[in-house]
A and B are shown apart, each in its own frame.
Chain A
Amino acid sequence: MYNYPVENLLPTKFFLPPAPTGFVARPHLIDDLDQALKHRLTLVSAPAGAGKTTLVSSWVQKSREKGVAFGWLSLDDSDNDLERFLEYMLASLEEGGLTLESVAIPAGLTGDSQMKSVMADFIRGLMGLKREMILILDDYHLIQNKEVHCAVEYLVEHAPPCFHLAILTRSDPPLRLARMRVSGYLTELRMDNLRFSVLEAGEFLEKAAGLQLTQTDLTTLTERTEGWVAGLQMAAISLRGREDAAAFVAAFAGSHRFVFDYLLEQVLSRQAGEVSEFLLKTSVLERLSGPLCKAVTGMEGSGADMLDALEKANLFLVPLDDERRWYRYHHLFSDLLRLMLEHNFPGVTAELHKRACRWYESHEMMVEALHHALSSGDMQLVAQIVSANVLVLVENDEAVPTLQKIDSVPESEMITLPWLGIARAWVMGAGQLQKSRQVLDAVEKSLESIPEGVERQRLAGHIAAARAFVFSVMGDKENTIAQARLANELLPADEIAVRAMTLTIWGDMRSDDRRHDPATMPILEQAMALALKAKKPHVAMIAAAALASANLHAGNLGELHRVCLEALAIGDEYQKRYQRPLSASANVYSLLARVLAEWGENEQAIQYARKGLLLSESWGQLDSEVMCLNYLGRALVFGNDNEQARQVFQRALATAENVSPWYCEMTIAYTLDSLLDSDNPDAKEIIRQKRLLKQYGVRNANILASRLLLWENQPEQAIELLEKELAYLQGQPSFDIVRIHCLLALAHQARGNLKPAIDSLRQALVLAEPENRVASFVREGEAMERLLRLVRVKLITPEFVKKLLATFRSRKKYIPEPSHTAEALVEPLSQRELEVLGHLNGPLSTPEISEQLMVSANTVRTHIKSIYSKLGVHGRSKAVQQARELGLLVQ
C-alpha cells in the first residue's frame, strides 16, 4: 500500500475553523464540553448544520487558554484506510504539540493483531503526556471502515487518563456506546442540547444580521426552524434589509416546505443576479479560490472580491486557511445549490466541471483536474488528462483514491465507455501490465461497433499510444516502436500531449548503444517541441534527456551539451513556478557530467554528477543514481583520486543490484574501464572485475575487451577485435569511433608498427577535434602521450594536439584534496526539505514560508532544523551557501 511521508499531508485537515460572523457564545454548552476532561470519550452527535463544529472549535480556543493541549483532525472519505487514518492522527497530535516518535506505522497495515500492536505503541507514547490533551475528530460519520472503528475503540478503552477523544458526527458511530455510557466513559451532546433557544436565536439574528424581531416573530422563527442554526442562519440572510419581517415570518411559518430549501430560494431571489449566478455555478467546486471561481463562472470582476463579500454576508463560506486563499461551502448549502443548478439549468454542470478541470490542469494540480474530469462525465476528457499527465499522476500519493475510482469501473462499462477504458489502461500501465493489455484489447474490440471515422481513429490512436507505453515499461523494444509508429500515424494533430508522450517513448527506447539510429533524433526533437507546445514540462524534460542521449551515442557532444542546457532551463522555469524540481532533471545532470568529463573539464563534471546524484536520491530514482555514480567514479579516477573512486564504484554496484542485471553489467564495465584509466592499475583488481563481468554476460564490450587485450600485451587480438567493431559500425556516426582509432593506434604502436599507428591516430584526431574529445586520448596514459609528441611534428590538428599535451601535463600535476567532501551529504534532503531550502534562499521569514507552503510554522521549523543538520551548518545564510556549493540551489 502507500506510505504517507509527512511532507505530503494536507494542512487543511488540521485547520481549526475560525468563529463565523454572528457567533453566539453558549456558555452552558461550553460547560458541558468541559466535562470532556472527566471522560474518555465526548460524543457530539447531531445532524448537519446543527452547529457542532462551530461550538467545539470555540471551546477549543477557550480551553487552550487554560493550558489544555488540542489536536484537531477533519476527516474525509479517504481516511477510510487504517494506515492513512493513523498517520493523520499522529500528525494532528504533533500539530497539537505531542510528538510520538516511537510509533511506526508499517506499510500495508492490516489485520487485528497488527492494529493492536501499533495502537499499543500509540498508547505507550501517550503515557508521556505531561498535561491534559483532547483529540477531536470532525466528520466522523464519514468513517465506515471497520478497522478504523476498532482502532478508535481500542484507543478509548486503553488510553491514559489525561488523554481524551472527542468525536463530532452526524450519526452515532458503531462503537460500543451503550457500554461506555454504563462505565461512565462517555459524555455526549445531541441535537436537543444544540438547539438554539429563543433567546439564543435572538442574539444570533442580532449579531449576524443586526436584526431586532418582535418576541412573537422570534418565537415563531425558532419553532419553525426547531432551533436548527443552519436554518436560522439562512433566515438571517433572508431577513436582512427586509421591510416587513413579520410578513416574511408568517409566510415562512405557514409553509410546510423543507426549511432550508424554502429559505435558500428566498435568499437567492433577493441576491443580485450576478451573485446568485456565482453561487449556483461555483457549487460544483469542492474548494473555491478567487481565480478558480472566475474561470468557472466566466465572470468579469475579481473572484476573490466576490468570495470575500460572500464570507462577510455570512453566506455559508468556510475559509480553509488563514490567508483566505481557499474556501469551501458548507455542504448543506452547496448540495442544495447543486440541486437547483441541475433542475433549472440542466446540462450546465458538466460544462462547469470541464472548466474547473482545465483550470486545475493549467495550474499543474492534476489530481483535482482528474477529479473534475470524472465529475463532468466526459470520459474523453478523463482519458486526455490521464494520458497527458500519467507520469505525474503515478508519482503522486494523493491521486490514488481518484485513480482507484477509474480502476473500479466494471469491465462491462468499459465497453460502452471506451475512453474510460483507455484512461484505465494508462493508469494500470505503470504497474499492472497484463491487466492493462487486457483492458486495451477489450476496448479495441468495442471499437468495432463504432462507425469508421475521425472518432474511431482517434480512439485507435490512443489505444496504440497506451500500448506503446505498456510495452516500453516491459522493455519490449520491437513492439514499443511498432505501436508508437502506429499511434503517430493515427493520432490527429490536435492531440499534442499524447503525441509528445508517444514520440518520447519511441525515441527513448533503448537503442543499440553501439550503432546509433539516425532516425531517432528527429523523432525526439519533434517530441520535445510538441511537449513544450503542449506545456508539459515533465514530458519535454524526458524527451530532452532522450535526445541528449541519442546525441551522445552519435558522438555529437556539442549538440548534447546544448540540449542539456535547454532541458535545465525548462527545469529551472518549472522550479521557479512550482517550487519543486522536475524529477527528470537528475538524468540531464548525469549526461552533462558525461560530456564535461569527455571535454576534460573534470571539476565541472564532478559537480554535475553530484547534483544529479542528490536529485536521484531525493526522488528514489535508482537508475539515474547508478549512472551518476559511474560518471562520478570515472571523473574521480581522471583526477587521480583513486581511493574515493573505488568507494563510489562500490556503491554504484550495490545500487545497480536493485535495478537490473543490465545495470550491474554496465557498472562493472565502467569500473573496469576506469581502472585501466589510472596510472598504475591494480592487476588483481582488474582480474577480479573481469571475472565479475563474465558472470553477467558481456554485451557491449568490444572496446573494453580490446583495452584489456592491450593491457595484457596482446595487441594482435586487440587489432582484430577493433577492426571487427569498425566494420560493424560501417561509418555510421558513433561515439565509439574515436576510441576505436585511438586504441588501434596504441595497438600498432605496441607491435612497433609506427606508420599504421600514426595513420590511426590521425583519423582519431581529425574526428575528435570538432567535438573536443579530450578524455578519450588523455585516459590512455603515457603510451598515448608519446605518440602524440611524435605526431606533433606532422602538424595534424596542431591546436588540438597542443591542448591534449597540456592536459596530460596538468593531470600529472594534479593532487586531489583529501576527501572531506567525499559523499557531500550523508543523508539526502527530502522533497519537502528541498522546497523549504528553496524558500530559505528568498526573502520570506519562517512564518511567511509556512503560509506559502500551507503548513504550520512548527512544521517548517522542524524541516529547517533537519536541513541544517544534514548540511552540517548553523544558520540560514550558511545553509544557503553550502547548498549552492553542493548544487542544490538554482541561481
Chain B
Amino acid sequence: MAKQTTYEIRVRELLDEKWTDYFLPFTLTCGEEDTRITGAVHDQAELFGILLKIRDHGLQLISVNPVKRL
C-alpha cells in the first residue's frame, strides 16, 4: 500500500457545489474568502493534476500544504 499524503490547497475564489464532482476525490470547503480543497494523493503527479485544473480555470492559488494526520 503506497503512502498517501493529505494536502490542503487554498484558492482565492469561492466555489459552489457543482465543482464537487470535478475535484473528486478532493473535498471542497468554502471559507469566507477562500475555498479549501482537501484530499489525499498517492504521488506528485496526482497533486500536479489538481493544480493544473486550478490553473486552467483561471482560479488563483494561495497555498498548498500537507496536512498532518491526527
Contact = CB atoms under 8 A, between A and B. Distances in A.
A257 B13 contact: yes
Of the listed residues A228, A230, A257, A342, the one surrounded by the most CB atoms of chain B closer than 10 A to its CB is A257
Contact of A335 (B15, B21, B57): B57
A179 interface: no
Interface string A254-268: 011111110000000
Interface string B1-37: 0000000000001111111011000000000110000
A47 interface: yes
A171 B13 contact: no
B22 A47 contact: no
B18 A340 contact: yes
A335 B56 contact: yes
Instruction: Label chain B's interface by main secondary structure.
Output: loop
Contacts of B21: 339, 342-343
B62 interface: no
A255 to B, nearest CB: 8
B34 to A, nearest CB: 9
Interface string A11-52: 000000000000000000000000000000000000111100
B55 interface: yes
B14 A256 contact: yes
Interface string A229-262: 0100000000000000000000000011111110
B56 A258 contact: no
B33 A258 contact: no
Contacts of A49: 58
Contacts of B55: 47-48, 141, 170-171
B57 A48 contact: yes
A258 B15 contact: yes
B13 A259 contact: yes
Contacts of A170: 55-56
A339 B58 contact: no
Contact of A258 (B14, B17, B32): B14
Contacts of B67: none
A261 B15 contact: yes
Interface string A203-247: 000000000000000000000000010100000000000000000
B16 A48 contact: no
Contact of A256 (B17, B33, B56, B58): B33
Given A257-B13, A258-B13, A343 B18 contact: yes
Contacts of B15: 257-258, 261
Nearest to A230: B58
A664 B15 CA distance: 70
B58 A257 contact: no
Given A258-B15, A332-B58, 7 more contacts: A47-B55, A50-B58, A170-B55, A258-B13, A260-B58, A336-B57, A339-B18
20 contacts: A47-B55, A47-B58, A48-B55, A48-B56, A48-B57, A48-B58, A170-B55, A228-B58, A256-B33, A257-B16, A258-B13, A258-B14, A258-B15, A260-B58, A261-B15, A336-B57, A342-B18, A342-B21, A343-B17, A343-B21
